[in-house]
């Protein structure tokens, strides 16, 4: 590190210890560049995913599904939270040591604030410190949005997802404001731990982007598990009472209320940019607060990039990782890789069983003018998928949208055990233009979930031929 006149100088300055930023930091450090990575919290080394996102929530899915009927709800949950926190602590330490242990990389803890387009000041345990960077990466991620509902902000029982998974007391009654991916995942997790769960969704339905048959299958599974889904619910007020909180909402013109021991806010996330003083750096932001970037992830200042949730793009760890590839291609490659290269990006809703999707829905494909054929089967009827019976999870369905003229897969929705893995095979097939027939006729190991494709892709339920 070049330290002179109390200024730390770096070839690459990374603000935020997220997936994309740390990947670029490690690579540039390995190439001999001096790198400084600033993270505002020692609890967030490695970013959202290993600390408060993907890893702990999916670990809780695993623990919740292991609970036996005879296990004490509170004891099982408390032990699960402890084991998950131990896991995240291990990952956090590994992320810190992996970067800070490099000769050319230094991790600084504190809040970064731009002074100009090349300079930030950092205040915190390792500050005050002034840092300059020839290249700067903004990788500060996103944070939960708490709606402006009377009584919600001040409620002692209101929690973000981060606060909820760190609380070792299992709520007997959990109210969830928001029926998107986060809300539904937590509904599934906490119902399986034994909480009484109510989801309050303002929209007319959940999963409105999905086809009706897929959404209906998801709702049936959640309802069967005991999750109460309330749609068209506009939350009006939260009232704290001595032993509980009341959530007042309006549905179809009628005021209603539910009591809860914990209220999870799952109403979306916003980019973390408010305290960066981006105006001083000449960096443009969108009306929603995200750093505006081009297809190469450059901001309005060509030497400043934005990776991950903070650039307003899809909020997925694997997108942040791909962001790092685009930025590295700009810094060390031919500069041709861009966000426009992305195709067939899958998504997974980690309920039990998970819903994984990729590409177009049937509705979207028809709206786009495709003549389609639809193949679909309930998991319980897929003869070539004995694994579903082996693991005792036969609920769900598999659906493919196929171009009737070319046999190309336009999209898929897999609601089944192992769907989060299966969807990657489908996405790869779509990117490389492997036909539905080829995927159907391929040889898969047995017993596996993948071999379900042998059956499902031959089961045409609708066709525009």
pLDDT tens figures, 366-399: 999 999 999 999 999 999 899 999 999 999 999 9
Q: Is 303 designated active site?
A: no
Measuring CA to CA, which residue among 79, 8, 10, 87 is closest to residue 46? 87
Q: In which residue are the tokens 């944070």 written?
A: 143
Q: Which one of 63, 296, 446, 465 is the catalytic residue?
A: 446
Q: Is the pLDDT of residue 4 over 70?
A: no
Indicate the fold that domain 347-463 takes in CATH. Answer: Enolase-like; domain 1 (3.30.390)
Predicted pLDDT at 284:
97
Domain boundaries, the chain: 2-142+270-341, 158-267, 347-463
pLDDT greater than 80 at residue 465:
no
Among residues of the chain, what percentage have pLDDT more than 90? 82
Please compute the mean of the pLDDT values over residues 178-204 and round it to a whole number.
Answer: 95
8 A C-beta contact, residue 24 and residue 12: yes
430/19: higher pLDDT: 430
pLDDT digits (tens, 9 = 90+) for 429-441: 999 999 999 999 9
- Measured CA distances, 347 to 91, 354, 358, 378, 401 (Å): 24, 10, 6, 20, 16
Sort 423 into a burial class: Cβ within 10 Å, 0-12 / 13-18 / 19+: buried
Give how far the C-alpha of residue 450 lies from the chain's centroid of Cα atoms, to the nearest Å: 24
Cβ–Cβ under 8 Å, residues 281 and 117? yes
Contact by Cβ (8 Å): 249, 256: yes
Percent of the residues in the chain that have a pLDDT greater than 70, as a whole number: 97
The CATH code of domain 158-267 reads 3.50.50.60
* CATH number for the domain running over 2-142+270-341: 3.50.50.60
Q: In 3-state terms, what secondary structure has residue 268?
A: coil
| pLDDT surpassing 90 at residue 70 | no
Confidence of residue 36 (pLDDT cuts 50, 70, 90): very high
pLDDT above 80 (res 1): no
Give the pLDDT score at 454: 96
Average pLDDT for 258-285: 96
pTM (2 decimals)? 0.91
2-142+270-341 and 158-267: same fold?
yes
Of the candidates 288, 308, 361, the residue with the CA atom closest to the CA atom of residue 54: 308
Q: 3-state SS string over 203-244?
A: CCCCCCCCCHHHHHHHHHHHHHCCCEEEECEEEEEEEECCCC
Instruction: For residue 456, report the phi and psi dihedrals to the nearest 5 degrees.
Output: -60, -45
Q: What is the pLDDT of residue 126?
A: 74
With contact defined as beta carbons under 8 Å apart, do 195 and 172 qualify?
A: yes
Q: Angle 186-191-194 (CA atoms, 0-180°, nearest 5)?
A: 130
* Dihedral sign, Cα of residue 344, residue 437, residue 216, residue 68: negative
Tens-place pLDDT, residues 84-129: 888 888 888 888 788 888 899 999 999 999 999 999 999 988 768 9
- What is the Cα–Cα distance from 325 to 315, expressed in whole angstroms? 16
Q: CA-to-CA distance for 56 and 35, rounded, in angstroms?
A: 29
CA dist list (Å): 94 to 16, 54, 88, 98, 408? 16, 17, 10, 6, 43
Distance CA 400, CA 409 (A): 7
Q: Among 3-12, 60-69, 70-79, 223-232, which is the least confidently predicted range?
A: 3-12
- Residues 100, 22 contacting (CB under 8 angstroms): no
The whole-number pLDDT of residue 52 equals 61
Q: Quickly state the pLDDT bin for 5 (edges 50, 70, 90).
A: very low
DSSP 289: S
pLDDT band at 3 (very low <50, low <70, confident <90, very high): very low
Mean of per-residue pLDDT scores for the chain: 93
Task: Please write the tens of the pLDDT for every residue from 315-358.
Answer: 888 899 999 999 999 999 999 999 999 999 999 999 999 999 99
Mean pLDDT calculated for residue range 146-174: 94
pLDDT at 50: 67
């Amino acid at each position: 590190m070049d330290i002179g006149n109390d200024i730390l100088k770096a070839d690459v300055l990374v603000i935020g210890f997220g997936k994309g930023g740390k990947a670029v930091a490690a690579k540039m450090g390995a190439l001999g560049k001096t790198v400084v990575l600033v993270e505002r919290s020692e609890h967030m080394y490695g970013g959202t995913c290993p600390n408060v996102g993907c890893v702990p929530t999916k670990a809780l899915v695993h623990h919740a599904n292991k609970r036996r009927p005879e296990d004490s709800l509170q004891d099982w949950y408390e032990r699960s939270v402890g084991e998950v926190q131990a896991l995240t602590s291990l990952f956090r330490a590994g992320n810190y040591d992996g970067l800070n242990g490099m000769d050319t990389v230094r991790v600084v803890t504190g809040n970064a604030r731009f002074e100009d387009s090349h300079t930030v000041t950092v205040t915190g345990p390792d500050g005050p410190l002034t840092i300059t960077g020839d290249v700067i990466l903004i990788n500060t991620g996103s944070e939960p949005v708490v709606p402006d509902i009377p009584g919600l902000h001040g409620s002692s029982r209101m929690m973000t997802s981060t606060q909820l998974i760190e609380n070792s007391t299992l709520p007997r009654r959990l109210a969830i404001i928001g029926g998107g991916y986060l809300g539904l995942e937590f509904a599934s997790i906490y119902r399986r731990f034994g909480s009484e769960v109510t989801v309050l969704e303002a929209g007319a339905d959940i999963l409105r982007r999905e086809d009706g048959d897929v959404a209906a299958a998801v709702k049936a599974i959640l309802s069967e598990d005991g999750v109460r889904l309330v749609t068209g619910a506009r939350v009006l007020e939260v009232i704290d009472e001595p032993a509980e909180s009341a959530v007042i909402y309006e549905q179809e013109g009628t005021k209603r209320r539910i009591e809860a021991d914990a209220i999870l806010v799952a109403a979306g996330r916003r980019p973390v940019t408010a305290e960066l003083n981006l105006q001083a750096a000449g960096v443009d932001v969108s009306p929603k607060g995200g750093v505006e970037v081009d297809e190469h992830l450059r901001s309005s200042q060509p030497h400043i990039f934005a990776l991950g949730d903070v650039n307003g793009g899809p909020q997925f760890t694997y997108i942040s990782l791909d962001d790092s590839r685009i930025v590295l291609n700009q810094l060390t490659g031919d500069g041709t890789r861009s966000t426009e290269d992305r195709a067939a990006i899958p998504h997974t809703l980690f309920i039990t069983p998970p819903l994984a999707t990729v590409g177009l829905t049937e509705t979207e494909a028809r709206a786009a003018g495709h003549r389609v054929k639809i193949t679909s089967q309930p998991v319980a009827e897929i003869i070539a998928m004995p694994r579903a019976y082996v693991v005792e999870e036969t609920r769900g369905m598999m659906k493919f949208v196929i171009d009737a003229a070319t046999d190309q897969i336009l999209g898929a929705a897999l609601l089944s055990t192992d769907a989060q893995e299966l969807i990657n095979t489908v996405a790869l097939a779509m990117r490389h233009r492997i036909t539905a027939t080829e995927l159907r006729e391929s040889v898969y190991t047995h017993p596996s979930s993948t071999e379900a494709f042998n059956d499902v892709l031959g089961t045409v339920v609708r066709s525009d031929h």
